[in-house]
Chain A
Amino acid sequence: MKHILVVDDAATVRLYHRNILESAGYEVDEAVNGIEAMEKALQTPFDLYVVDINMPKLDGYGFLREIRSQDITQVPAIMVSTEAESNDRQRAYRSGANLYLIKPVKPEGLLTYIRLLLGVSTHIRPHLSNDKAIDR
């Protein structure tokens, strides 16, 4: 199962993303700021990060910069922001984001992007796992 880290200081947004991601069968972990995210990222091999920009202690830019300076560089990262301005997007890309999305992100859209960034072809649907069980 693909493991995704959601980094956001707002619990509501974390829950929102968790609901979307879990409904699609992903395993979700959360961090409330860049520092905590860094700690978790160093500990767990995540498959993707969904990162907010504005956070206390260490913001999303800082987190991504750290990630891209580490050995865990190749994990794709989606940065979500409420800012539509292009210099924010550039900053996000420069920090190491792979995609910059504007909040609120529509569930279907987010999942489409994630499927592409993870290189997986489809949702993990319940009936698929059933088939697997039968095969075994």
Chain B
Amino acid sequence: MNPLLEQFLAEARDFLQGIAEKLMQLENDPNSTVVMNELFRLVHTLKGNSGLFEFPEMTRVLHAGEDLLDAVRDGRVGYSQELTDRLLDAMDFVNLLVDEIESNGGGNGSDHGQNALRLAESLRQLIGVTAIADGGNAKASVAEAFQSSSAPNMPELPRLAELPEQQRMALYRQALAGDTLDTLLFVEYTPEDECFFKGEDPFHQVRQIPDIVWQSVRPRELWTASAELDAYHCNLIFDTLTTAAPEELYELFRYTPEQLRIVPLPPIVLALPHGDPNGGAVYGDFVTDALRRLDSGDMAGLESVARTMLELSSPDLWLASGLRWLLLVLELEPGNRHAQRTLIGSLASLTLPVWTTPETATAVEAVAGPGSGLVGEMFSDADARAFADILQAQREILGLADSDAWLSGRLNAAAAALAACHRRAGRIEALPALEAALAEALDNVEAAPLLAWLDAHAPLDLSATVGPEAAEEAEAAPTPIRNALIDVEPDNKFGRRAEDAYVGPKTLKVDQDKIDNLMGLIGEMVVAKNSLPYLASRAETQYGVRELGREIKTQYAVINRIAEEMQDAIMQVRMMPMSFVFQRFPRLVRDTSRKLGKEVNLVLEGENTEADKNIVEALADPLIHIVRNSLDHGIETPEVRRAAGKPPAGRLTIRATQEADRVHIEISDDGKGIDPIIIKRKAYEKGIIDEVTMERLSDQEAVNLVFAAGFSTAEVISDLSGRGVGMDVVRSAVEKVNGTVSLESELGKGTLIRLSLPLSMAVTSVMIVESDKQIFGVPMDMVVETVRVSRSVIRTIKKRQTTVLRGRIVPLLALNDLLAIGAEPLSNDDDELATLVVRVHEEHVGIVVDDFRETVDIILKPMAGIIGGLGGYSGSALLGDGSVLMVLNPRELV
């Protein structure tokens, strides 16, 4: 995937998360303009980003969202929950697109066109009537949807001449009579190659365009010989000239907007003379005369000679056609000298006039004018257009009538821009005058001298009328600019100057793989460093160099300290705040409770509590499950709550705290709690407990039955929870990361679920035990105690070996049996068996081993590959001497 797209996707996710957060905040505080503005900014920026790529669906939806938010921001549309709902839907859709783009490496998720349209429509609906009334706005967005009309290039339209002159003239008249000049649209429809296979009918489609003025079809590529022609491959382009509104076109081509190019045409492009060119040269004098009259502004004279000429010419001649157009333009656009000049030029050259935008044409003319011969080669048409654009922009800037404090800065900048582009255009002869004009402008703090220069050196027909007016305005404006300049605080608000150090961005995004890799390397180093003590003792015992042994030990102490610090540091990098998981709850709770018809206030506490990334991630699913359970089974509907004397809105609290090296998470609700009697009955019905147990179980023990596999208490299976995965899934997920889960419940008052997790699972403390001359590790957090049990106190109860330890019956299991090692446990000289007491599911179990060894800190690597399925082991680790230690998982083993 290219880096730009990668960057876009990563950033898009951040934005989407931000948008979701802001929407939640807005729901709690709909009047906050700060949140609203921030929300708008996020959607706006994301839309802008998506526009850099070909993701029309995404852009369309985001654009609609942006428009809606803009309307809300301006107070045109009121805030409603409906609005949040629809925006959330839309963002989900965008998220989906992002996922898809990521998974197929930048391919386009093009099957989403309909959804995008539907979502965009649903968002726009909320803007409602106001937006439709605001025609300009709607048009702009339509234009953007087609991503075309902003292109300044005019289509090549010589074929417009095919249209009868009378019709073109009528259209020209009609267009100029209307309010807007761009009612005439040129539509280029390029159906997909494979369109016939998609059930599309391009011809029918294109005939549906309303108000067609002219239509024609042409091949995209040259036709191949008929023998090789693939008739199923669409090779057509349809050109249409229409006066329809862009909205109608948008509606008609809503499924394939990308195949459409719409260009609004200035009416003058219709002015194309045609006819028999013979006899043109005779009238050379006329052209000279007409141009002279045009230059001197003798319009009446020009019209009169043109009319006389027309009467003398045969109507079928090119000349006659050109004259008819000239007269029409003189009548309807008397100010458009450029058009008139071009038409006269066309009479002389007997070639079709090339209509571009007026500004462009003038720029080309100006640039190609006298004294700039050397420019021609390197100054392309595009340059000329850009040159004209820049001139136009500076003209507009200089024409602004205001007295801002930074006016002289603006004048400076405009002059610099003008100087630069004239230099680029090779028109350096104009620069000294510009310098003088700038100096004068700065002295008087007004734009007029620069405007005057601009008019003198880069005359534009357009500006001939606009320029001086604007200049007058600028002059007329009351301008106490000097004072304004003094008002500027010498100490600007940034406070900093060049000598201050630059402060770079504070955070760095790093690929997770890189961190994991670093983590793995540090782990290996820790292990490698552990071999030094072995080396030291070998130096002493085997080689008899005590001095060297001691030195190695000293060095070891240093390396050990550094390694530990490194380990700490990398742990810190991996720490993530709980908010990573918590942030999705507001949305989850909101949606779920709405669906269930319940009212719930969610309280989140301790979001900044940090834990290792793996732990935080492992927590996500169990937490969601618990929260859903609470909402589904715990918190009652408002009616039930009122009847029970509780406030109608339930309360769900999720709190994270850190205690020593563990993170505790409590999820509590004030719902109906868990009824131990129902639990017992259910458990009995499902065969989880027998009758005797049912009688004997305490309430707390009964409540804990919800953790038993295959238990679900829901009376009605809703679509939220109760799909057969219950709290047992939560328990196993939590235990997988060495966590524990417990549950307290009071009937009618509520339920509290407590999760306790290690801060990090990168380093595990294990006790090494020995059995049948092999060593195994047992996680220390499961070890309750180590005892030596005399064979004499072991009894057999229900065919199981047991003993009594501290008044508690503890079943004894031999590790050799558990691992199917065919050897008897070895006892020591006093006939005592080494017994490791571990806690498994809140019960104590004694594991009989041959001997205990030391405890070590290890980096636990989970079992991978074929042995990954061995549940009895939680992983393996390398020891200091290079040997491998298998770490047992007593929960599965026992």
**Chain A residues within CB distance 8 Å of chain B:** 9-13, 15-16, 19, 32, 35, 38-40, 42-43, 54, 56, 65-70, 73-77, 82, 84-85, 89-90, 93-94, 96-100, 102-104, 108-109, 112-113, 115-122
Contact = CB atoms under 8 A, between A and B. Distances in A.
B423 interface: yes
A98 B494 contact: no
Contact of B421 (A32, A56, A69, A119): A119
A68 B410 contact: yes
Contact of B386 (A11, A89, A109, A120): A109
B3 A76 contact: no
B410 to A, nearest CB: 5
Interface string B478-496: 0000000000100010101
B55 to A, nearest CB: 12
Given A98-B390, A98-B394, A54 B4 contact: no
B101 interface: no
Contacts of A93: 393, 396-397, 400
B7 A113 contact: no
B417 A117 contact: yes
Query: Which of B382, B393, B400, B498 counts the most chain A CB atoms within 10 A?
Result: B393
A112 B386 contact: yes
Given A65-B406, A115-B424, A12 B8 contact: yes
B413 A68 contact: yes
Given A69-B488, A85-B140, A109-B386, A96 B413 contact: yes
Interface stretch (B41-49, B304-312, B563-571): B41-49
B406 A74 contact: no
B380 to A, nearest CB: 8
9 contacts: A67-B409, A68-B412, A69-B405, A76-B417, A84-B140, A104-B52, A115-B383, A116-B420, A117-B420
B440 interface: no
Given A93-B393, A103-B48, A118 B410 contact: no
Contacts, number: 160
A120 B397 CA distance: 23
A94 B412 contact: no
Contact of A66 (B46, B49, B494, B498): B494
A40 B382 contact: no
Interface of B: 3-4, 7-8, 11-12, 38, 41, 44-49, 51-52, 140, 143-144, 150, 378, 382-383, 386-387, 389-390, 393-394, 396-397, 400, 402, 404-406, 408-410, 412-417, 419-425, 488, 492, 494, 496-498, 500, 502-503, 505
Contact of B496 (A39, A54, A117, A121): A39
B389 A113 contact: yes
Given A69-B488, A120-B424, A10 B409 contact: no
A73 B496 CA distance: 18
Contact of B52 (A13, A43, A77): A13
Chain B interface main SS type = helix
B502 A98 contact: no
Contacts of A39: 494, 496, 500, 502-503
A76 B418 CA distance: 10
B4 A15 contact: yes
A21 B423 CA distance: 21
B11 A117 contact: no
B390 A117 contact: yes
Given A16-B4, A117-B420, A77 B393 contact: no
Contacts of A56: 38, 41
B372 to A, nearest CB: 13
B386 A118 contact: no
A66 B424 contact: no
Contact of A74 (B413, B496, B497): B413
Q: Which 10 A-B pairs have the closest CB atoms?
A: A68-B409, A119-B420, A73-B409, A68-B406, A119-B423, A74-B416, A116-B421, A73-B412, A98-B417, A12-B8
Contacts of B410: 68, 73, 94, 96
Given A39-B494, A42-B494, A122-B378, A12 B49 contact: yes
A116 B11 CA distance: 33
B420 A76 contact: yes
Given A73-B413, A76-B417, A116-B424, A94 B402 contact: yes
Contacts of A90: 396, 400
B3 A32 contact: no
Contacts of B417: 76, 98-99, 117
Contacts of A96: 406, 409-410, 413
A9 B383 CA distance: 30
A95 B424 CA distance: 25
B581 to A, nearest CB: 25
Given A99-B390, A99-B393, A112-B382, A75 B416 contact: yes
B420 A43 contact: no
B389 to A, nearest CB: 7
A128 to B, nearest CB: 13
A44 B740 CA distance: 57
Query: Which of A9, A15, A67 counts the most chain B CB atoms within 10 A?
Result: A15
A94 B400 contact: yes
A74 B150 contact: no
Contacts of A108: 382
Nearest to A56: B41
Query: Which of A56, A85, A116 counts the most chain B CB atoms within 10 A?
Result: A116
Contacts of B46: 10
A119 B419 contact: yes
A114 B412 CA distance: 18
A70 B414 CA distance: 15
B389 A10 contact: no
A75 B409 CA distance: 10
Contacts of B421: 116-117, 119
Contacts of A82: 44, 47-48, 51
Contacts of B51: 82, 103-104
A54 B41 contact: yes
A75 B7 CA distance: 29
Nearest to A67: B409
A82 to B, nearest CB: 5
Contacts of A103: 48, 51-52
A10 B46 CA distance: 8
Contacts of A38: 494
Given A98-B394, A112-B383, A10 B498 contact: no
Given A9-B45, A76-B420, A100 B393 contact: yes
A85 B70 CA distance: 13
Nearest to B421: A116
Contact of B7 (A15, A69, A70, A85): A15
A8 to B, nearest CB: 9
Contacts of B394: 98
A63 B494 CA distance: 11
Nearest to A44: B498
Contacts of A68: 406, 409-410, 412-413
Nearest to A102: B150
Contacts of A65: 404, 406
B326 to A, nearest CB: 33
A73 B442 CA distance: 12
A98 B411 CA distance: 10
Contacts of B48: 10, 13, 82, 103-104
A15 B3 contact: yes
B409 A69 contact: yes
Given A13-B48, A39-B494, A109 B382 contact: yes
B389 A99 contact: yes
Nearest to A116: B421
Contact of B413 (A15, A85, A98, A100): A98
B565 to A, nearest CB: 33
A105 to B, nearest CB: 9
Nearest to B417: A98
